[in-house]
Chains A and B, each alone.
Chain A
Amino acid sequence: MRARALAIAISVVVVLLAVLWLTHRGPVPRPLIAQARGHCVLNTARMRRIHMMWLRQVRTRVVRDGMALRADRLTRCVSCHVQKNAQGHLIPIDAPGQFCSSCHVYAGVKIDCFACHAAVPEPAFAPGYFSRAHHIQAAFRQPQILPRRFKALLSRAAP
């Protein structure tokens, strides 16, 4: 009797494992991140790790303190990282497979930036529009605006 129960239990486990093995689709593929034009305000590894804190700080500076000419505002991210389709039309940056969503789908993190912000730059807003902001861009290459508690994050190796 006990041997029979054991056999049933083992077969159930084997069937479950077989179902899992047959249905699993392998690891989630690493996101394919599109190449941007121009230079970022920060190097890629650091930006990947800290862009959320970075943007949160910059938005306060831009909206509340009126530093609207900052080169590292979200509008600028969009204008460099946006892609065009085969017909030459701009694709929203949060569309599936685009710059923002490719990583955010992989990481399972929802973004709501583009509920309010435009996901495509205005033609006049393409690189060059901010010509007056280039000196500011140079000043913000280094993450000097970040508070100390992010220093540990910065020194850690990027994924």
Chain B
Amino acid sequence: MTDPDSFVPQDTKAQAESEDSCDVGRRRLLAMAGGVAVLALAPGVTVWARTMRAKGLVDAHPVRYGLLIDANHCQSGCDACVRACNQYNGLSGQTGPDNAQWIRKVTIQDPKTGFTRTFPVMCQHCAKPACVAVCPTGASFRRADGIVLVDKHRCIGCRYCLMACPYQARSFVAHKVDDQKPWAPRGKGTAEGCTLCVERIDRGKLPACVAACARRGHKAMLFGNLHDPQSAIAKRLAQYASTTIRADLGMEPGVHYRGI
């Protein structure tokens, strides 16, 4: 009937239907079951993904802002970053228990050798921030681009975040403020901390501390997108050894240090 050597192109669909029609029914059933399963699971998967993202456990956003602070270049007598921060954000610059401090210079010394290092410490903009985890109202939150902020519209001033932060990066506004800067709203009864100058970043400018350090010519601070392999900060991090403060806590800070 058919020559086994000759190739006759056949309608594969017709062949499949004629040869085993029971398989078609099974396929349809499987396809329907698959569709039903997708419909049933999709909302759950979406909610799960959202929850994971909200908790910061999935960090798939293309942008994560961070800093690289090179303690080798940070000068011991210089506090340009601190003064720039205070001036730009309208802070008093005083360091009493009632005064807000968003960034401070820290000096460490090896007691055996006397080797001294100085570098600025501010909010470390962690991937898994403790302040966000403990906040009872959702006022402490992590923006999609990795900046950890206080939404003062929701803050009730409970100060849990001040207790939770191992870097002591949060401050509490204890007194009435009436000389705020328009870009840095702050008021009595709310927690606050370094915003990474979010208003400047959104306008495409560097944070005030980084700009001040660069103006001084020290270039000890580098700001950039950690998730962009082409960015200067990502290249520098890939090139040299760096560390984060208290990396053992597993909060994955966005502020990296070199030379400490």
B151 A63 Cβ-Cβ under 8 A:
yes
Per-position 1/0 for B157-199, Cβ under 8 A of A: 0000000000000000000111011110111101000000011
Binding stretch for chain B, among A25-33, A97-105, A112-120, A137-145: A112-120
Q: Tally B residues with Cβ within 8 Å of A.
A: 25
A-B contact count (CB 8 A): 50
Flag whether B152 is at the interface (Cβ < 8 A): yes
A108 and B50 CA atoms in complex are apart in Å by: 41
B5 at the interface (CB under 8 A from A): no
B145:A66 contact, CB within 8 angstroms: yes
Contacts of B110 in A (CB 8 A): none
> In the bound complex, do residue A117 and residue B203 qualify as a contact, i.e. CB atoms below 8 Å apart?
no
Contact between B202 and A68, CB atoms less than 8 A apart: yes
Are A63 and B149 touching (Cβ within 8 A)? Answer: yes
- The complex places the Cα of A77 from the Cα of B153 at a distance, in Å, of 18
- Does B71 interact with chain A (Cβ within 8 Å)? no
| A125 within 8 Å of B (CB atoms) | yes
Across the interface, which residues of B come within 8 angstroms of A65, CB to CB? 144
Chain B contact residues: helix, strand, loop or mixed: loop
Which residue in A69, A115, A122 is a CB contact (below 8 Å) of B182? Answer: A122
Residues on B lying within 8 angstroms of A by beta carbon are 141, 143-145, 147, 149, 151-153, 176-178, 180-183, 185-188, 190, 198-199, 202-203
Instruction: Taking A66-B198, A115-B176, A117-B187 as given, write out 11 further A-B residue pairs in contact, using a Cβ cutoff of 8 Å, ordered by the A residue number.
Output: A63-B149, A63-B151, A66-B147, A79-B182, A116-B152, A116-B185, A116-B187, A117-B185, A118-B180, A118-B185, A132-B203
**Sampled A-B contacts (8; CB under 8 Å):** A64-B143, A64-B151, A66-B147, A68-B198, A75-B182, A116-B187, A118-B181, A125-B183
Chain A interface (Cβ within 8 Å of chain B)? 59, 63-66, 68-69, 75, 78-79, 115-119, 121-122, 125, 132
